[in-house]
Amino acid sequence: MTGMNYIIENQKESLRLKQQNSLPQYSVEDELHLLNLDLNGKNVLDAGCGVGTLAKMIKSKYHSRVSGCDASELRIKEAQKGSKGLIDFFVADLTNLPFQEAQFDVIFIRFVLEHTLTPKDILNEAIRVLRPGGKLVIIDLDGLIFNLHHESPILKDQLSHLYNNLPIDLFIGRKLPRMISEIGLKLSECHVVPMLFRDTDLDCEIDNMIMRFNQSESIIKSIIGEDVFNDFMNTYISEMKKSEVHFCNKFIVTAIKN
């Protein structure tokens, strides 16, 4: 699986994704509303579907054929729960999809590209299985942990190490429009949706951030040092609480295959 840096078989990651998708700032329903696509009669793929939140929402709103795939067996098992077999969920590597060319009318790639340093491998494979005239919808965050305002010199140093060494791209959002033209697609829409967390939503985002850090513990330790992981996480979370609000931009980009 080229360039994949993700904790694949971690049951807690399914819980985190469910918790994340239940927050209004991450609402797949709002994203679909904003895109205003007519998916009726379409063959749709949710590529890197995680626990299947988006695929299930599409199936509930449109008369479409929906498939969802992910590298994680655990997450696909979770996605299959409650789908009553109406959605074809299967395990697959997004850089090597088990399909002939030009099968899908619409492909969604949501919160996936940030987990790789070789996003074009995934995008080129998506283009291969997209039919001419078909749409690619990419949704990704920009900034995430680096948006925190704080006044700790130690944390600043640790975040700078993470910025330079994390094997993921937490600024993928802003790169999407240019990347789309570089791979030969036509940019159709680009939305930047600010996500603002306050009060109980901030509490939930803090819980989610703790899960993100815990699930990435070994990667973070390898960059900032084993012994300082707990201090890093505690300082980050206490600064997040002091900030009163947390924010992140969500890019929602659509592109058309000629």
Ligand X SMILES: C[S@@+](CC[C@H](N)C(=O)[O-])C[C@H]1O[C@@H](n2cnc3c(N)ncnc32)[C@H](O)[C@@H]1O
Q: For helices 217-224 and 199-215, give the axis angle rounded to 10 degrees.
A: 70
Residue 123 CB, nearest distance to ligand X (Å)? 11
Are 127 and 257 in contact by the 8 Å Cβ rule? The answer is yes
Instruction: State which residue, 64 or 238, has the beta carbon closest to ligand X.
Output: 64
Instruction: State which residue, 116 or 216, has the beta carbon closest to ligand X.
Output: 116
Instruction: State which residue, 98 or 133, has the beta carbon closest to ligand X.
Output: 98
Residue 125 CB, nearest distance to ligand X (Å)? 9
Residue 173 CB, nearest distance to ligand X (Å)? 14
Residue 28 CB, nearest distance to ligand X (Å)? 7
CB environment 94-121: b (16+ within 10 A), e (fewer): bbebeeeeebbbbbbbbbbbbbbeebeb
How far apart (Å, rounded) are the C-alpha atoms in residues 75 and 84? 16
Task: Walk across the sheet containing 43-47 and list its strands.
Answer: 88-91, 65-70, 43-47, 104-110, 130-142, 245-256, 186-198
Instruction: State which residue, 210 or 228, has the beta carbon closest to ligand X.
Output: 210
Structure tokens at 81: 């729960």
Cβ-proximal residue to ligand X, closest one: 50
For the four alpha carbons of 181, 185, 190 and 192, in that order, the dihedral sign comes to negative
Where on the chain is the footprint of ligand X (CB under 6 A)?
1, 4, 6, 8, 17, 21, 48-50, 53-54, 70-72, 75, 93-95, 110-112, 115-116, 122
Instruction: State which residue, 126 or 162, has the beta carbon closest to ligand X.
Output: 126
Residue 254 CB, nearest distance to ligand X (Å)? 16
Instruction: State which residue, 71 or 123, has the beta carbon closest to ligand X.
Output: 71
Residue 225 CB, nearest distance to ligand X (Å)? 26
Q: Radius of gyration of the chain from Cα atoms? A: 18
